[in-house]
Amino acid sequence: MFTYQNKVMIAAEKIKKRERDASLRDLWRTPQWLFVAIQRYIGVKFDVDVACNKDNALLPNFIGVERDALKCSWGEPGTVAFLNPPYSKITPWIDAAIREQARGVTTVMLIPQSLDTQWYERAAECANETVILSGGRVAFVEPDVELGLVEVNINPGGSMLLIFRGYCQEAGHTISKIPLAVMKKLGGYDPANVVRKKRPRKKAA
């Protein structure tokens, strides 16, 4: 079985060789401060972490690889789910969030800021709110075999939240913005507690 640990080892080797590709983004984790900030800003408390595993789950209650979150239920009506999906395949997770919305589950998705994509057009048909994190880019964290979790300052684009409120797929859609600096204050971000990995400089030709 191709485990999460296998992926981490492969990712570490790619990073060492400076071979960064889209597959590494699927291993990025939501920083704890942002997880806290989202709940405080929206005014919810997450019940379940979706699209994760025991090594990177942000909550004791999570849906890991043993249960296919694209097919299984995320909870009873009234459940509030957090979802930071693999960025290489967002569309299936949009469809799953819409399915769970119809069942009464509220889902907050953290995804790339891409308002001109087909998957966003699909999402906007049922999602109730888009919240753009403006004024900067989220520094996600990734596993490093030597340093543990390290902050990644190479996010190629901005981020946004998509909120699917349970049973409210026909309630309309709004778009708003919140500065990333405000979210950092809400989440208690402290740069002194962040581990950053120094990337080797490219050798001159």
Best CATH choice for the domain 4-193 from the list 3.90.1570, 3.40.50, 3.40.630, 3.30.70 = 3.40.50
User: Structural domain boundaries of the chain?
Assistant: 4-193
pLDDT at 74: 97
pTM over 0.85: no
Model confidence at 88, pLDDT cuts 50, 70, 90, reads confident
- The partner residues of 98 in beta bridges, in order of sequence, read none
Task: Using CA atoms of 159, 35, 75, 106 in order, give the dihedral in degrees to the nearest 10.
Answer: -50
pLDDT of amino acid 47: 98
Average the pLDDT over 62-74 and give the result.
90
Query: Mean pLDDT throughout 70-88?
Result: 95
Alpha helices by DSSP H, the chain: 4-16, 22-25, 32-42, 91-102, 118-124, 180-187
Instruction: Give ∠ CA 36-42-47 in degrees, rounded to 5.
Output: 60
| In the block, residue with structure tokens 């989220």 | 138
172-199 b/e (C-beta count within 10 Å ≥ 16 → b): eeeeeebebeebbebbebeeeeeeeeee
- 130 pLDDT higher than 50: yes
* pLDDT (average), residues 146-167: 80
In this predicted model, which residue has the larger pLDDT, 1 or 183?
Answer: 183
Q: What is the mean pLDDT of residues 116-139?
A: 95
Distance CA 76, CA 65 (A): 20
Structure tokens at 61: 């209650």
pLDDT tens figures, 158-171: 999 999 999 999 99
CA distance 194 to 113: 24
